[in-house]
Amino acid sequence: MTQQTLDEASRALQQGRIDDAEKLLRGAIQADPQSIDPHIALAATLTRKKDYQGATDSYANAMRLDRNRKGLALKYAVSCFSANRFDEAEKSARLAVQQQPDAAAYDALACALREQGKTQDALAAADQALSLSPSSNTAQHTRGSILLAMGRSEEALKIFEGLNSRGVSAPAITLNRGAALEKLGRTGEATRLYADAAKRWPDFPELQRQRSQRRH
């Protein structure tokens, strides 16, 4: 019965019926709370709804059932990070590193450490991620964000500009590049960067806020 419900929930998601999928999965959990798959599926569904706290709680339930499930510790770490639960994110990322020491696990650890102000350890984790995957744009951006937090703005800017020059762009990269420019006293360039990015990503609130602040 659980697999049938999972299949129904998957079809609902494919059709964009996220609330229906959530309802089905919660029913599956109520019927069989010791089955791990509905907890994981519910977490993924709540993530799509941007309910990061709910998603994190669902991943936590899955972790209690089987913390050694392949890939689960990393998913839980990323979810904790999205929910601003950085201490939990660090703990789960460290478990992910132990279980499968790949670039994604080290990057998750680096991000969790950065948000707690543990910048030296964060930089070491980012460097480890890049040693495993030198071409990882995600790890490059993470390293740049850590350098920015450490006050090494010129080094950080080179990373963000390098990503952009290779055709890699995202709101977070733009925000960090703008912050680096401002810290280097290049406010005019930052203002133009925010204005252009706000047009490109009109639904990204932080870019709109940065653009609005610099109109006056």
| pLDDT band (50, 70, 90) for residue 207 | low
Judgement on whether residues 144 and 189 belong to the same structural domain of the protein = no
The answer to the question of residue 172 being in a domain is: yes
**Which residue among 117, 150, 183 closes a domain?**
150
Over residues 64-112, the pLDDT tens digits come to 999 999 999 999 999 999 999 999 999 999 999 999 999 999 999 999 9
CA dist list (Å): 83 to 3, 48, 73, 107, 165: 29, 13, 15, 17, 31
The answer to the question of residue 80 being in a domain is: yes
Nearest to 122 by CA among 99, 145, 104: 145
The answer to the question of residue 162 being in a domain is: no
**Which residue among 116, 150, 184 closes a domain?**
150
**pLDDT > 80? residue 211:** no
Q: What percent of the chain has pLDDT over 90?
A: 87
**pLDDT > 60? residue 215:** no
Domain span at residue 129 reads: 74-150
What CATH number should be reported for the domain holding residue 8?
A: 1.25.40.10
Number of domains making up the chain: 3
Rounded CA separation 41/72 (Å): 12
**What is this structure's pTM?**
0.90
Q: What is the pLDDT of residue 213?
A: 67
Lowest mean pLDDT among 35-39, 158-162, 178-182, 197-201: 197-201
CA dist list (Å): 32 to 5, 40, 70, 104, 148: 11, 13, 21, 32, 47
CA-angle at 161, arms to 50 and 120, nearest 5°: 70
Q: What is the pLDDT of residue 202?
A: 84
The answer to the question of residue 163 being in a domain is: no
Judgement on whether residues 200 and 178 belong to the same structural domain of the protein = yes
Look over the chain and give the mean of its residue pLDDT values, rounded to a whole number.
93
The answer to the question of residue 160 being in a domain is: no
Judgement on whether residues 173 and 136 belong to the same structural domain of the protein = no
Q: What is the pLDDT of residue 212?
A: 65
The answer to the question of residue 115 being in a domain is: yes
The answer to the question of residue 158 being in a domain is: no
C-alpha 100: how far from chain center: 18
Judgement on whether residues 135 and 111 belong to the same structural domain of the protein = yes
C-alpha 201: how far from chain center: 18
The answer to the question of residue 43 being in a domain is: yes
Judgement on whether residues 88 and 134 belong to the same structural domain of the protein = yes
> How does DSSP classify residue 66?
-
Nearest to 113 by CA among 98, 124, 100: 124
Judgement on whether residues 50 and 118 belong to the same structural domain of the protein = no
| pLDDT band (50, 70, 90) for residue 1 | low
Over residues 116-132, the pLDDT tens digits come to 999 999 999 999 999 99
Judgement on whether residues 124 and 81 belong to the same structural domain of the protein = yes
Mean pLDDT of 135-155: 97
CA dist list (Å): 87 to 77, 92, 107, 115, 184: 10, 9, 15, 9, 31
**Which residue among 98, 115, 150 closes a domain?**
150
Judgement on whether residues 196 and 216 belong to the same structural domain of the protein = yes
Do residues 154 and 146 touch, judged by C-beta distance below 8 A? no
| pLDDT band (50, 70, 90) for residue 140 | very high
